[in-house]
Each structure stands twice: as C-alpha cells, then as structure tokens.
Structure 1
C-alpha cells in the first residue's frame, strides 16, 4: 500500500445560515456542509473529486486550502498533522489552490501579478510562467488574455511557493479542446514531479482521461473512493452487453440477466453477466442467436464511465441538483489491486 501524502480524517463543517428574528437579527442556523470526511491520497497521484451540484466539493477544497476552518477533524500532509490550516501557516503553505473561474482584468501583466503575490507570501516566482506556458505572454495586459491563458495564470499563482498539494476547482471551465489538452498535459507533468493533485470538475469525460482515482461526494459525505478500475469492478459496471438485431425474438434464447429489452420488429437488448464478457462467451452467444434466426447487427460491451459511477452510487440520473440532508450515508468499500 502506497503511503499517504495527504490524509484527511473525520473532517466536518456546517455552513452558518442567517436566520434573523426580531429579537435576534444576527441569529444563524446550521446549514448544509461536510460530514466526517476521510480519505488518503498517495504522493504524485491525480484524484478526481466528483458529485452532484451542492455535494460540498468546493467547500472541501476551501477547508483543505485554509480558506475555511473545519468544525472537527484533521489534515495530515507528509505525516505532519494540522487541525486548522486557516490558522496554521506551516500547513497552509504546503497547499496551492486554483479557484473556479478567476477573471483577470486590467492593464497589469502576468509577470506583475506573480511578483506582487510572491511578495505577499514570501515565495519565488522562478520559471512559473514558462512552466504553465505563458513565457510569451509575460508582459501582455491581463485584459488581452484568453480564457485558456487566464486559467494558466491562475495555475501559476497556485504554484507559488512550490506547494506539495495542488487543488484545482473546475480547471477546464471555458477551455476549448486544445486548451484542455494542454492543461491536462501540464497537470500530469506536475504529478510526475511529485505534486499530489485533487481536481474538482463537472466535465467527467475530461476528468476520467486524467485522474488515477476518484472521490465521490454526495450530501456532504464520501460515498465511495479509490482507483477507477477497482470502483467499476466493485459496482459491476463493466458487465453489460448491448445487442441489436432486425429479426426474431432473442429473449427466449438468453439465459443471462436481461436488464433492458425492446422487441418491436427491430430489437435491442442489454444483457448482464456477473463474470464479464470474455471473447469466448460473447462469440458463443452471438452464434446461438444467429443459428436461431436472430442475427445481431450491433454487438457492444458497454464500458462504464464516471457518470455511470455517479448514477450507480447516488441514484441521480446525470448531475442534477439534490436537496441537502445531513444524514449519514453508507460508504462503499473498494478493494484495490
């Protein structure tokens, strides 16, 4: 088992919601938040933080970067434990945060922005602009930077001080495919250097092609976490076969579990096999159907993606908004290879 570079234990937080009354205009009540968050991230890993809207992803990143103070729990970085990074500079300086959609405006330049920020936290700029691909734009006015260039500048500011932990909140927002590819390449290079990276994103396809593992938040709690391949195996998401044909009724010929069927002239069925679909098993079934007049013209073993994991673990179709309820959920254990 790889030693944890970032270890979160029992982290909890509740938002304070204004609830004024005539007698107490400053009264507040407890709102949604995070409940007993625990997970480990190996050094140099890239982890995706996913979940429905309102699940608590940004709140968690704020706790890990010291923008908010937790109600309870601890954060351990490289075997050094911290209770509240907002009050502990030694821990906060080990973490860099790239927030969601920073609007860079004005006549200042990327070089000037980094210089000013470096003076505030006593860090060195070095070759950060070159590292994030802005070496040709160091003296360009912020107003003239594209969305992609602005995201690169945000990443450069997060890297000031050479943080061990890098948190990225919706880094692909507003980027075209070329810029997304460049950002993913840079993220992988940073991980290869030993930086441990946690990325929150709703762009699941882009995220899945980059991350090593995922953490799924729902109702402010970790529902499942681990390597993507192990999670898919645990949830049995890669065991569905899709078949389509034009003639006959294949249902009487199928001994496996049929989870969906449409028989109306042309037919379409989805079949689940607990042991997966090996080439031998697949060939045997197709041959059986063909010999009985149900020749399939489309045969596809369905491959699960992050959206399938979300739906399987939360019951939410897509990324819909769910009402918060601070009720303990059952965490699904994943046995990793």
Structure 2
C-alpha cells in the first residue's frame, strides 16, 4: 500500500505538488492521471525518495521507501527507461542490479523472457529503440518480484502487442494482491486497465475515485438517433428532463431518456428510425471535463 499524507514539494517560488493526500491500495490497478506539469512525476519521485518532500510524508508498505532493507524486492519502479548504462547489454545491466540484492541470475533470465527481450539481451542498451528500452525498464522493475509496482508511462513507445501485454501484466499482478500505481496519457488504454483513478491538476488532487464512478460523475449518456423526421421526433421528446441537440445529417443526440423509450415513442408516432445508438461516457471525456481548468500548457484549437 502507498499512502501519501499532505505531500508538498516546492522548487523556489514554484509549488509543484500542493498538499496531496491519497492511498493506493493492493489488489487493484490505480491510474495516476493529470495534464503535463500537474505534478505526477514529482509525486512518484517523492514516493521512492528521489525528491524530498517540502512538507508531508509518503510511505510504501508502512514505511518510507528509503528505509527499505531490500528495495528491489519491495518496490519495482520505472520512472525513466533511459536510466541505464548505455554501454552495458540488457543482461549485464539486469545482472548488476540483481547482484546488489543477491538475486539469482535465473531470475534475470526469467524477466528477460517475460518482457520479450531474449533476442536482444546481449545487445548494448544504448542501441535500444524507445520500445525496447521500456521493456528493459519493466524487466528491471519486476526483477525482485516486488509487492508494489510504480510505473510512469510504461507503454510509451510500445507497439500494440506490447501495450496489450503491459495491460495484461499489471492486471495479473494486481489480481495477485499487489499494489500497482500506473501513470499514462493514453485514456483509452487506462480505461481498459485501471480500477481506480487519481487525477492531479496544478499540483492538487482533483479526483480520487473508482473509474466507473468518475466517468458517471463527469459525463452523460446519450442516444444518437437518425430519422428523416428529426423535427417531429424532437418535438415528441420535448420534456424538462430531456435534452435534444442537432448532430447533423438528420441526426439527434438525446440525453435523459433511454434508447428503448425513444424507439417505443417513435413507433407510436409512426416515425421511421434509421439509427438508434446508445453512447456511454468515456474516461477521456470525463478527464477532459475534469481537467479543463487545470491545464497548465494549453494549445490553440484548430478550426
């Protein structure tokens, strides 16, 4: 379990993390989300002792990470896949890490096989592609078979097979009762992976909830309806609880009533329907709505 209590980090006059508190529980994948500059990476660095908090505290497994007697076997961490001696091969890099904790070379071979590095294990890590570097970083995080896993953007640079493999891996590890904290900007992937979501914005926690609850709270379900008699259907649906908006091309977006009720009403009025498609809210929509006022670096919309 990871517990952050009133965690704050200041760099001069800049507050990167501002009074952040949360708990990452075992047995589930916790997604760690937020815009660029929100404080996610700084928070992860404080969890593993790479940055000292200006105030507050954070523990992993009941104590500070820096107090761990055997860090690799307690916490597996991927914060920067490039943090590797570029002149060493993947196998030598992992064996050097393993030697610091008395981990057998057979375990090195296991994680090499698990992460798909067997064909390049003898090659210099400095020559690796971004995706292969990520796999090596994940192998290093798994080396000690830890109970807690902290991964910052682990699917960055991976191909679709690799992305799916990471998803299956972290869900499997969480299913074994381990604690998994996972950061990613890929909302579609996070929606398939995370059970719980913590969202930072401008250094503060702006959401901390099970993923389905977050989506329900920040999106609305709609039904896309297409009919040659759109105006007639819109009039028939008129109600204070129902919202009807023009979707173009004879289409209506209807909120506040189910697809079944729309179909029944259209049948009663003799209105033909060419499409009747329920649309549920997505994590991406919820995230965009939630962080709208917390984006530090905004881009100009393209007309």
Name the TM tier (shorter chain).
0.7 to 0.9
TM-score, length basis structure 1: 0.76
Q: Who is 2:5 aligned against?
A: 9
Structure 2 residue 96 is the aligned partner of structure 1 residue 96: no
Q: Any conservation in 2 of the 1:9–1:37 contact (CA below 8 Å)? A: yes
Deviation at 1:322, TM superposition (A): 5.3
Q: Distance in 1 between matches of 2:51 and 2:138?
A: 21
Q: Distance in 2 between matches of 1:100 and 1:50?
A: 17
- The CA RMSD measured in Å over matched residues stands at 2.9
Q: Distance in 2 between matches of 1:315 and 1:212?
A: 23
Q: Who is 1:239 aligned against?
A: 221
Q: Who is 2:246 aligned against?
A: 262
Q: Distance in 2 between matches of 1:106 and 1:39?
A: 36
CA deviations over 1:89-138 (Å, ceiling 9, x no partner): 44965332212442767553211001222344565552332333334443
Q: Who is 1:182 aligned against?
A: 165
Aligned residues: 293
Q: Who is 2:297 aligned against?
A: 321
Alignment of 1:90-129 (within 5 A): 90=69, 94-102=74-82, 106=86, 108-120=88-100, 123-124=103-104, 126=107, 127-129=110-112
TM-score, length basis structure 2: 0.83
Q: Distance in 1 between matches of 2:45 and 2:126?
A: 27
Which one of 50, 56, 76 corresponds to residue 59 of structure 2?
76
Alignment of 1:1-337 (within 5 A): 5-14=1-10, 16=11, 29-78=12-61, 80-82=62-64, 85=65, 87-90=66-69, 94-102=74-82, 106=86, 108-120=88-100, 123-124=103-104, 126=107, 127-142=110-125, 145-235=128-218, 237-249=219-231, 250-254=233-237, 255=239, 257-259=241-243, 261-262=245-246, 266-273=249-256, 277=258, 282-292=259-269, 294-315=271-292, 321=297
Deviation at 1:34, TM superposition (A): 1.1
- Name the stretch that deviates more: 301-310 or 240-249: 240-249
